[in-house]
Structure 1
Amino acid sequence: MQRIFLAVFIAILVAIPLIPGTPEFWVNQMNTIGIASLVVLGLVILTGVAGMTSFGQAAFVGMGAYATAYLSTSLGYSPWIGLLAGLAIAFVIAYILGQITLRLSGHFLPLGTIALCLIFYYLFGNMDFLGRHDGLPGIVPIEIFGFSLLKARAIYFLIWGVVLLSIFLSLNLLNSRTGRAIRALKNGAAMAESFGVNTHHYKMIAFVYAALLASVAGWLYAHEQRAVSPSTFGLNYGIEYLFMAVIGGSVSIWGAILGAGLVVFLRDQIQAYTPYLIDAKVNVEMVVFGILMVLILHHAKDGLWPILMRGVNKIFGEKQTQNTDLGLDEKAAELPKRERPQKGDTVLRVNKIRKEFGGLVAVNDISFEVKAGQIMGLIGPNGAGKSTSFNLITGVLPLTSGTVEFMGQKISGLSAREISRLGIGRTFQHVQLLPNMTVLENVALGAHLRANSGVVSSLLHLERESEARLLKEAKIQCERVGLGDYLYEKAGNLALGKQRIVEIARALALDPTLLLLDEAAAGLRYKEKQDLAAVLSALRDEGMSILLVEHDMDFVMKLTNHLVVMDFGTYLAEGSPAEIQQNPAVIEAYLGGMDDVLDMASTEVKV
């Protein structure tokens, strides 16, 4: 269906300027839509996918437009030199602004991009060599192999060729190792850091990529209009580009074209008919677009494109099919494995770790060790500090005092990303998956550190071999935990129990030496718990060390070799499961009554 749609779309694009009698107005409108689509495509990546809001894309459009306008009119350089200059300027400005704002959370990026737009609007309108508010007219047309693209019908093919190329590059980017990291930024940045994803780096990629697309749009605009002035690069246009992204579908690549087309069409119609309706030339486009945006956000938060696709599928009787075209190759080479420590070696040493939140002591000088080939349980009542201890060990939270050593190396003070690189994988108390990505892609994110393909190879789809190896590893880990039938199912469609299993598979894809499982059996049915216990036992036999937080005592007592009990953040007791069941302090503080003790004592303990 998608290929048919693409073929029809390209056929229509080619036919519009070639059909005799096609009004010149239509061709010009299509040129405007194509140029706007480039800007909106960048916003889809930046805002819809990566979750970062920019109001300053019009400024980057202006950089591309003014760079080529000045160089071609005042200095006589080729438009192609102007293109490179515009890209260079946009790259430098986006890089500097991104380094300043993207390390900060909240409203800093939106405010920074608003300031950027206001600054460049002022500069464009007040610099003599840029023509001040009159702008720069008489821009030379683009030439390709001596053929001038002076007329609208001639530059039309260049504009839409660039749009289609940008769509191809953007789809390649999103369906890659780099793209998975970018998609994790919106709802799973902390989780992604725990698997080695440098979130700041990928924020920078998304931000700079959107700026470069906007600069290309500005270059095309300048040579299509053959004149530039500050009025088309103000903040109102930056907001309008956001409208286009939201209305079309901020998470849909093809929604960028739909949104641009609708807004350009509506803007033209509003400007044409407003004088007849209110008997005055009033600019009411922003009011109408604002109302439309509110309605879209309320009734179709993903924009109009997904609704349109569902309607088309319904008309043609198509069902929503699973995305199986992810580059998985069964013949791909397997990724290299870490060397396992000798059974019995100390893998993790926790020494008097402490965490204070103001006056609250959440973890109070806890110490324990985990040996190679051992499953150790960390148990205690709700609020005992177990999950906080996990976060201290994995670098998610900083220690107030104490030390953590992994394989003889001090890791306290390291970031979650650096700790994961050493070979510590984890799951989370509250499931942290990317619901709109398939199970296979979610698990492949766990293997992020085991490949090194970059953004350029992703854009050009040159990372096929590396990507195939990552996806094969993800498939192996999915099958290992019983998810072989769910590879192409969206993770958000799975039941909670299955989602927890996906988290375990993702952690295994890191090829960890130490695996930290935070309530991994929560939400699982009895048979699923048995299957999970079998998987964890097999991992232990392979030499993997496992630190387990769990409330299901039957599950813990049958599976673990050693237990540490916490209560209100403090160390209470430790020993074998049999010893813990008979410990009076544990019985009083944790088990809550002799009936529970008798039930546990009657449980067969398997170590």
Structure 2
Amino acid sequence: MKSRNLIIIVLVILAIAPQVLPTFQITLLNYIGLYALVVLGLVLLTGVGGMTSFGQAAFVGLGAYSSAYLTTTEQLPSWLAWSAGSPWVGLLIGLLLTAAVALFLGALTLKLSGHYLPLGTIAWGISLYYLFGTMSSMGGYTGISGLPSLSLFGVLLDKGEKIYYLIWAILMVAVWITSNLLNSREGRAIRALKGGQLMAESMGVNTFRSKMVIFLISALFAAISGWLYAHTQRFVNPTPFGLSMGIDYLFMALVGGVGSVWGALLGAGILTMLKQWLQDWLPLVMGGNGQYEAIVLGLLIIFMMQRSPGGIWPLLVKLAPASWRNQNHIKITSSAAELPRRDLPQKGKLILEACNVTRRFGGLVANNQMNLKLHAGEVLALIGPNGAGKSTMFNQLSAVDTPSDGEILFLNQSLKGKSSRQVAHMGMSRTFQHVKLLATMTVLENVALGAHLRGNKGIISSALHIEREEEQRLLQEAQYQLERVGLGEHLYTEAGSLSLGQQRILEIARALCADPCVLLLDEPAAGLRHKEKQALAELLKKLRQEGLAILLVEHDMDFVMNLADRIVVMEFGEKIAEGLPEEVQSNPAVLEAYLGGAE
């Protein structure tokens, strides 16, 4: 059975459920659908983007209260009178209000890192909760009653089994949108947020924009859930929109699988049903009344997090046949047009220049008055003993770091004030001393991230699945670069399962995917076997012939001496020698500082 057929079977079961299940079970399914919609946003925000939020319940409240106010207030302000109290207009206004609040709060909190981000979400979540309770126009803590039932195409959705179809239809659309988004150019940028922001910025990804996108989407999903909740209950008060419910949503995501789209549905279903079952049975076992279910539920979640920190859905996926899992791989068509390529500068033209670059870290001078030049069609090696300041210089050349004094010119433009993302768009690409890749993504997807700056389709195109032509072009380019470096047989292998040497080769393929005119390689031969080094040297020679300028930091002297056109030697942050390989090899200062002393 194909996974697509399994999904169809599940949809058929959901469609006939209201016809065969009692009213109470339908009510539970409605709550599961409402909760899953919120949790789906948390999968994007927390599971994929790596940003923990305790404030999603507040966004649910914004959606609920916006429509409640609009549909129950007798004298609406003149600028809202045109709405005639329509719940559908309430949805629109709730989404607009939620979007405005989310953009404001995101601008304030998404720049925080570590434990400050979740603390920030707790702060504004509590603030919005108390705002709902203290505003007399919103009914205070008593709440607002008498909300109208929804009506769709003349059908009044006044019963649970009727609004059930709307809840689950919206949820399935949200699942489809989220799945489309994650399997796209924008989705790769979003998935790079968790543990790969420095790398993503160097590949041309605007990581703050990606954070804002998923923060906004998760808030809008929550607002839609709140709107549905309000018109299902026909009553709202602040209680369901407090911090405790925000924690419950996170628990649902953790139980189902915080990084899995379908885990959102699974987690919402399991926690909702389990909580109901515990509420029914624990008083009979324990005797008396009390919130025993909260205690037991907490212990069960702790146990599950110890045994399966990734949640239940990833466990189910592992049990599924391999053929099902492989069906998610995007097939590459050879008919897609090639991506346009930049014209490389004329061979011998000065491309990159460091002029008296000094970098201080407090009282430590890591680089002192460093000068170097890199020309088109040239391989320049930067060598020196450990602690010589090579990596610091490398980071300044790629705009990851900024010189304290001096200037770096790339294509006759100063890099002062420019980010690594901007420099990547100008035509500079790099690898890293410590390999930076997304271990759970395929090799193909990792390399396609390098082509991010060569695409222009945005979030809406990705969510609606109408950017397939560009996506095919990006993936085809990634496949070409992988075949070029000898990793063509590993397209759908998880990048984390490659050897260290293969991961370094993957980084080079990813850098080439950006179509650069300057390639900065940080210890590219580290971890490679002899034949792999030979293949890498041949590739770099070919790139040099094509006109690419290559700067590499390397410790393997045989590799450097047989490849580099010129060599710059550093010691204690300063340049002590520069010249042809044979000149550097015989330089007394180099022999003393780096090669073990002159004979």
TM-score normalized with structure 1 length: 0.95
Q: Deviations over 1:152-172 (max 9, x none)?
A: 111111111111110000000
Q: Which of residues 232, 246, 261 is equivalent to 1:253? A: 261
For the pair 1:326 / 2:330, whether they are aligned, the reply is: yes
Q: Which amino acid aligns with 1:310?
A: K
Look up the match of 1:165. 173
Shift, 1:107, TM fit: 2.9
Shift, 1:338, TM fit: 1.0
Superposed CA RMSD: 1.4
Q: Which of residues 116, 121, 127 is equivalent to 1:119? A: 127
Q: Deviations over 1:311-341 (max 9, x none)?
A: 344xxxx457446632532111111111111
Q: How does 1:432-471 map to 2 (within 5 A)?
A: 432-471=436-475
Q: Which of residues 490, 495, 504 is equivalent to 2:494? A: 490
Look up the match of 2:190. 182
Look up the match of 1:11. 12
Secondary structure at 1:591 match in 2? coil
For the pair 1:562 / 2:570, whether they are aligned, the reply is: no
- Are the equivalent residues in 1 in contact too, given 2:43–2:261 (CA < 8 A)? yes
Q: How many residues align?
A: 589
State the alpha-carbon separation in 2 of the partners of residues 390 and 296 from structure 1: 44
Look up the match of 2:541. 537
Q: Deviations over 1:6-31 (max 9, x none)?
A: 01211211121122xx2111100000
Q: Deviations over 1:248-279 (max 9, x none)?
A: 10011000011001110111122223323333
Change (3 A) 1:540 1:5: same
- Are the equivalent residues in 2 in contact too, given 1:274–1:282 (CA < 8 A)? no
State the alpha-carbon separation in 1 of the partners of residues 65 and 225 from structure 2: 12
For the pair 1:345 / 2:383, whether they are aligned, the reply is: no
Look up the match of 2:163. 155
Change (3 A) 1:322 1:387: farther
Unpaired runs of at least 5, structure 1: 598-607
Q: Which amino acid aligns with 2:142?
A: D
Q: Which amino acid aligns with 1:495?
A: S
Secondary structure at 2:253 match in 1? helix
Change (3 A) 1:312 1:472: closer
Q: Which amino acid aligns with 2:555?
A: H
For the pair 1:411 / 2:405, whether they are aligned, the reply is: no
Q: Deviations over 1:287-312 (max 9, x none)?
A: 33332332233221211111122234
Q: Which amino acid aligns with 2:6?
A: F
State the alpha-carbon separation in 2 of the partners of residues 70 and 527 from structure 1: 71
Look up the match of 1:237. 245
State the alpha-carbon separation in 2 of the partners of residues 157 and 471 from structure 1: 37
Look up the match of 1:43. 42
State the alpha-carbon separation in 2 of the partners of residues 563 and 48 from structure 1: 45
State the alpha-carbon separation in 1 of the partners of residues 417 and 144 from structure 2: 55
State the alpha-carbon separation in 1 of the partners of residues 130 and 212 from structure 2: 26
Change (3 A) 1:384 1:542: same
Q: Tell me which moved more, 114-123 or 570-579.
A: 114-123
State the alpha-carbon separation in 1 of the partners of residues 304 and 205 from structure 2: 33
State the alpha-carbon separation in 1 of the partners of residues 152 and 338 from structure 2: 46
Look up the match of 1:585. 589
Look up the match of 2:53. 54
Percent pairwise identity: 52
Secondary structure at 2:382 match in 1? strand
- Are the equivalent residues in 2 in contact too, given 1:324–1:488 (CA < 8 A)? no
TM-score normalized with structure 2 length: 0.96
Look up the match of 2:361. 357
Q: Which amino acid aligns with 2:40?
A: L
For the pair 1:86 / 2:94, whether they are aligned, the reply is: yes
Q: Which amino acid aligns with 1:510?
A: A
State the alpha-carbon separation in 1 of the partners of residues 271 and 221 from structure 2: 19
Q: Which amino acid aligns with 1:186?
A: K
- Are the equivalent residues in 2 in contact too, given 1:581–1:587 (CA < 8 A)? yes
For the pair 1:505 / 2:504, whether they are aligned, the reply is: no
- Are the equivalent residues in 1 in contact too, given 2:329–2:492 (CA < 8 A)? no
State the alpha-carbon separation in 2 of the partners of residues 416 and 39 from structure 1: 35
Shift, 1:222, TM fit: 0.9
- Are the equivalent residues in 2 in contact too, given 1:68–1:79 (CA < 8 A)? yes
Secondary structure at 1:405 match in 2? strand
Q: How does 1:378-389 map to 2 (within 5 A)?
A: 378-389=382-393
Unpaired runs of at least 5, structure 2: 75-83
Q: Which amino acid aligns with 2:369?
A: D
